[in-house]
């Protein structure tokens, strides 16, 4: 082989080498990728049993919890009411005349019989004097007529006077006696009219703002009163309850006196304690409610006439009943339920039946036992058998609501 042929073979070898280099690189890359995929698959299969053996743990739901306990619980019903004075009297004039004096101060406490105002009495005094004068005149005429009758009776025995004249004289005496009776009635009327010019307090109480000033002419037919007298010791509260409580209230009244406590309009602060006095004799069909009236001594005048209050009526006290906070009672698709916490701190539901509610406590008649832990807050996050974490909260059942 000559030198030219040798050079040609060398050149051909270098060209083939250059053509195989990319293919070799591609093969190496494919091999590396295949080995990595196989390792990933094998490692994934090897980790599956370990993941199955250790499932993910659910996060605990924070809730507030209280305990079902047994205790004595009073049962109340509450209705909106209005304070009324025991007596409320509009002070009017009973005669026509000029209001001469007003002898009370606005807001003053007065006693029965105190002079409150005076009407100009002169015309009424004159009428009384006239009636008395007429009586005196009739009395004089009666004396004269009785003397004439005595003479006629003597003369008729001598036939000096006829029987007819005697009868006429008797009739005259009787007529004058009747006139005296009429005079007495006229005097009493005039005296009463004169007495009406002095307006007296009809009862103890407190005076209102004056509505008519001295100098005005007042009439017995006026619609506007001079002032209003209100007796607020004792005071009354007229309140309403739904008709569904009627039988309960009547049964409780049959057992004895019922205590009523008046609270302020926010139903938070007690104002006074009293007794139930009566139930109204009919039901208001428009509102399906009935009215009740309670009486309060109101010595400190915490109850003010016209004030709106919440009247809380004690029906009974139930002994040794199971109670839970009212917030623990939830309504589900199948009725009432409560979420309870098991020993391993998971949440489960219990169907329950309840009785009356007093304040923040509800009586549970079935579905729970004493000592059960019930969820009072955070129920909306719960599912069956979910773990929970208990957050501190004051015990409503222990504190009494």
- Per-residue pLDDT tens digits for 355-368: 888 888 999 999 99
**Mean pLDDT computed over 395-399:** 69
Q: What is the pLDDT of residue 390?
A: 86
The answer to whether 258 and 275 have CB atoms below 8 angstroms apart is: yes
Single out the residue of 382, 372, 377 nearest to residue 392, CA to CA. Answer: 377
User: Above 50 in pLDDT, residue 11?
Assistant: no
The angle subtended at Cα 252 by Cα 250 and Cα 256, nearest 5°, is 115
Q: What is the pLDDT of residue 203?
A: 92
- Range list of β-strands (E), 112-209: 115-119, 198-200, 205-207
Residue 191: count of CB within 10 angstroms of its CB: 16
Q: Whole-number mean pLDDT of the chain?
A: 85
Q: How many residues does the chain have?
A: 401
Q: What is the pLDDT of residue 332?
A: 87
The answer to whether 354 and 336 have CB atoms below 8 angstroms apart is: yes
The answer to whether 361 and 397 have CB atoms below 8 angstroms apart is: yes
User: Above 80 in pLDDT, residue 140?
Assistant: yes
Q: What is the pLDDT of residue 153?
A: 85
- Per-residue pLDDT tens digits for 339-393: 999 988 899 999 999 988 888 899 999 999 999 999 999 888 888 888 988 887 7
Q: How confident is the model at residue 154 (pLDDT cuts 50, 70, 90)?
A: confident
- Name, of 2-11, 12-21, 167-176, the range with top average pLDDT: 167-176
**Mean pLDDT computed over 211-235:** 93
Q: Between residues 53 and 347, which one has the greater pLDDT? A: 347
The angle subtended at Cα 367 by Cα 362 and Cα 372, nearest 5°, is 75
User: Above 90 in pLDDT, residue 167?
Assistant: no
User: Above 90 in pLDDT, residue 186?
Assistant: yes
Q: How confident is the model at residue 29 (pLDDT cuts 50, 70, 90)?
A: low
Single out the residue of 189, 185, 186, 200 nearest to residue 93, CA to CA. Answer: 200
Residue 196: count of CB within 10 angstroms of its CB: 17
The answer to whether 110 and 203 have CB atoms below 8 angstroms apart is: no
Q: What is the DSSP string of 10-72?
A: HHHHHHHHHHHHHHHHHHHHHHHHHHHHHHHHHHHHHHHHHHHHSPPPPPPEEEEEEE-EEEE
The structure's pTM equals 0.67
User: Above 80 in pLDDT, residue 254?
Assistant: yes
Q: How confident is the model at residue 50 (pLDDT cuts 50, 70, 90)?
A: very low
SS3 378: coil
Strand partners, 67: 373
């Amino acid at each position: 082989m000559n030198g030219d042929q040798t050079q040609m073979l060398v050149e051909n070898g270098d060209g083939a080498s250059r053509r195989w280099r990319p293919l070799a690189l591609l093969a190496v890359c494919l091999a590396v990728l295949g080995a990595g995929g196989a390792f990933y698959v094998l490692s994934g299969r090897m980790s599956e049993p370990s993941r199955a053996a250790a499932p993910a743990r659910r996060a605990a739901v924070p809730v507030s919890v209280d305990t079902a306990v047994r205790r004595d619980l009073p049962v109340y019903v509450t209705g909106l009411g209005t304070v009324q004075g025991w007596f409320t009297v509009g002070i009017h004039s009973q005669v026509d005349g000029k209001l001469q004096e007003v002898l009370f101060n606005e807001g003053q406490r007065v006693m029965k019989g105190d002079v409150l105002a005076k009407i100009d009495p002169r015309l009424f005094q004159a009428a009384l004097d006239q009636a008395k004068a007429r009586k005196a005149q009739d009395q004089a005429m009666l004396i004269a007529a009785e003397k004439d009758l005595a003479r006629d009776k003597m003369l008729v025995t001598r036939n000096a006077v006829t029987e007819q004249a005697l009868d006429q004289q008797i009739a005259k005496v009787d007529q004058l006696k009747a006139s005296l009776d009429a005079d007495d009635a006229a005097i009493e009327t005039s005296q009463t009219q004169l007495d009406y010019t002095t307006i007296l307090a009809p009862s103890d109480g407190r005076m209102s703002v004056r509505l008519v000033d001295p100098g005005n002419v007042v009439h017995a037919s006026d619609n506007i009163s001079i002032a209003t007298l209100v007796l607020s010791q004792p005071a009354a509260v007229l309140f309403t309850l739904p008709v569904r409580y009627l039988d309960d209230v009547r049964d409780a009244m049959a057992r004895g006196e019922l205590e009523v406590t008046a609270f302020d309009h926010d139903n938070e602060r007690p104002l006074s304690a009293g007794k139930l006095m009566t139930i109204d004799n009919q039901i208001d069909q428009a509102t399906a409610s009935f009215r009740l009236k309670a009486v309060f001594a109101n010595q400190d005048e915490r109850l003010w006439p016209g004030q709106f209050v919440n009247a809380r009526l004690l029906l009974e006290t139930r002994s040794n009943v199971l109670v839970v906070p009212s917030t623990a009672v939830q309504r589900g698709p199948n009725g009432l339920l409560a979420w309870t916490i098991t020993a391993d701190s998971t949440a489960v539901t219990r169907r329950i039946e309840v009785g009356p509610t007093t304040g923040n406590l509800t009586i549970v008649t079935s579905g729970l036992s004493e000592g059960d832990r019930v969820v009072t807050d955070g129920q909306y996050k719960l599912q069956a058998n979910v773990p929970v974490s208990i957050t501190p909260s004051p015990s409503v059942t222990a504190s009494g609501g």
